[in-house]
Chains A and B, each alone.
Chain A
Amino acid sequence: DAKTTQPNSMESNEEEPVHLPCNHSTISGTDYIHWYRQLPSQGPEYVIHGLTSNVNNRMASLAIAEDRKSSTLILHRATLRDAAVYYCILRPMDSNYQLIWGAGTKLIIKP
């Protein structure tokens, strides 16, 4: 199964945009790119996912490189409530259970 690589931690100032990178150089053509986040003492929460094109929703935007070997989760205006661990994971098109979760990126928001 393809794996992802993320920085261990990132810091950002409140009300500024945040770009969280993810490398997935061994991604296959049928793997979706999913992002989840886990707030302290909570279960992971779905953020966004995409296949080839950039995606936007009310929580974030997902920018996918043309070769699909990397992606970036964009929080347009970070708040203190966005402080969490962000996981970038790959999901094969025909499965959910093969999700391989790395350690994620711990996002620290400074007021």
Chain B
Amino acid sequence: TQLLEQSPQFLSIQEGENLTVYCNSSSVFSSLQWYRQEPGEGPVLLVTVVTGGEVKKLKRLTFQFGDARKDSSLHITAAQTGDTGLYLCAVNFGNEKLTFGTGTRLTIIP
């Protein structure tokens, strides 16, 4: 069974602080996606990373794909209350279904 472990599971920080969440696997994958899910809604795609060592920026969010293509991180600078949500990484391990990580539930305190 191919698993994606995310850490931390829960994170609660003050508005304006920085944070990093992680996604790790024992398997190598060709690409990885990050999603954010708000309560009562489906996950929304944030980014797809493809190349080992790749860094992508989306405003205050920075996504990095590990050199070994087995891990990824999401860094948020100067967190805002609108960043609150469940952050999920997801990988297609080659069987045409997206496997999701365990998720990081982020709460930004005003």
To the question of whether A and B form a pair in one complex, the answer is no
Interface residues of A (CB under 8 A from B): none
